[in-house]
Every structure is written in structure tokens, then in C-alpha cells.
Amino acid sequence: MWTRLVEIVRGVKDPALRALVARFVKDETFVAGFQRAPAARGNHHAYLGGLLEHTLSLLELALVVLPRYPQLNADLVLCGILLHDVGKVRELAFETNIEYTTEGQLVGHIAQGVIWVHEKVREIEQEFGKPFPRETLNLVDHLILAHHGKYEFGSPKLPAIPEAVLVHHLDNLDAKVHMMLSEIANDPDRASDWTQYNRALETRVYKRSAPLRESPPSA
């Protein structure tokens, strides 16, 4: 999964975004944590390697969707997807079981992601001796700050650029589909057509939608 993720983000062409991506993917400490981290304490991809799996899924989805919207900044979308949840590497402890770190409890992964991006930007500025483009940094910050989509979902900002709308909805799509599939796979009552009620999804999940048990009538 990591090899495929790097293959995709190597497609980022914008020099500033490419330098930012490189700072993360070449950081051995970050990579080790990112490859092992869960994507959440519960709900979706809540297991070792879940963050990498979830992020790669979003990148693959973006490659499918972006050609439909050629007006979008594809480099910004790919960079934003890579970085949207990096703060979870610091938010979650996962050596023995999945728990929140003190930093995670006090700051949270969204703010931590922005802080981490700014740390990498300072490294880039020190290495190249010139300022990182402020507008580019603002846009990356916005993608991270807006990726939960709504204030009630813990998003500090609402999506204000089309790229942020895309990142938010791909993130939500992958999370919700994964949650439903997990509910189906792990439901203890194999005889029931429905799972137990899931508070996060606010529904029970019907387990018999695919594959359909009866073929549709021929034309």
C-alpha cells in the first residue's frame, strides 16, 4: 500500500506542493508511524495500518473522479488527501491498544495536521533559503481544516474551495462505506437480514443488498 501511495503522490507537479509531499514521504519516523497508525479509535479503519489503507483509498478514488472535473487543482487535491489525517499519527497511541495521546486529547488531529505541515514548511524554507508560497500554504491548511465538512462534525472551517468539497466527500464516502461493510462482516447474527443499530451511522444496515440473490428479468 505504501508503494502505491508514493507512486500516486509522485504525480504532484506543483513545485511547492511536491516539496511538501517529499518532506513527509522521506521522513522515516513519520513514515513508520503513518504505515502503522489506525485511522480512528473506533468507527472506520480502527486497526493497525488503517490510516494508510484509508488514505490510499481516497487517493485512488481521486484518480477516478478528478478527470470528471478538469477545472480542479489535481495537485492540491492529491496533496490534501495525503495530509488530511496525518495528525492522527500524533493523536493516537497504538502500541498495545488504540487510545488518544495527551496531545491528541488537547489538540486533536486536525490542528495537529496543520501544525505538522507548518513544521515541514519551515524545513523547506531553511533548506532552500526562500519563503514557501503563502497562498499555497493557506490552501493546504484549508483542506485539512475543512475536511470534516461541517462544524458539528468537528470541522474548524467549512469547505470554501471546490477541492475541499471533493476531499471532504471522498473522505466521508470511504469512511461510511467501510463502516457499513464492517457492520455487515462483523454482525454476530448471521441469520438476520439486518445488523444491530449503529450510533455513528444512525441506522441498522441491511445485509443482503449485494450480490443480489435474484437475477433481474431479461428484457
Domain span at residue 157 reads 2-163
The verdict on residue 159 lying in a domain is yes
Domain membership of residue 190 (yes or no) is no
Q: At 206, give phi and psi (nearest 5°).
A: -75, 130
pLDDT per residue as tens, the chain (219 positions): 999 999 999 999 999 999 999 999 999 999 999 999 988 877 777 788 899 999 999 999 999 999 999 999 999 999 999 999 999 998 888 888 888 888 888 998 999 999 999 999 999 999 999 999 999 999 999 999 999 988 988 899 999 999 999 999 999 999 999 888 888 888 888 889 898 888 888 899 898 887 655 555 555
- Structural domain count, the chain: 1
Domain annotation covers residue 16: yes
pTM of the model: 0.88
Among 12, 4, 1, 8, smallest CA distance to 51 is for: 1
| Residue 105 counted as domain residue | yes
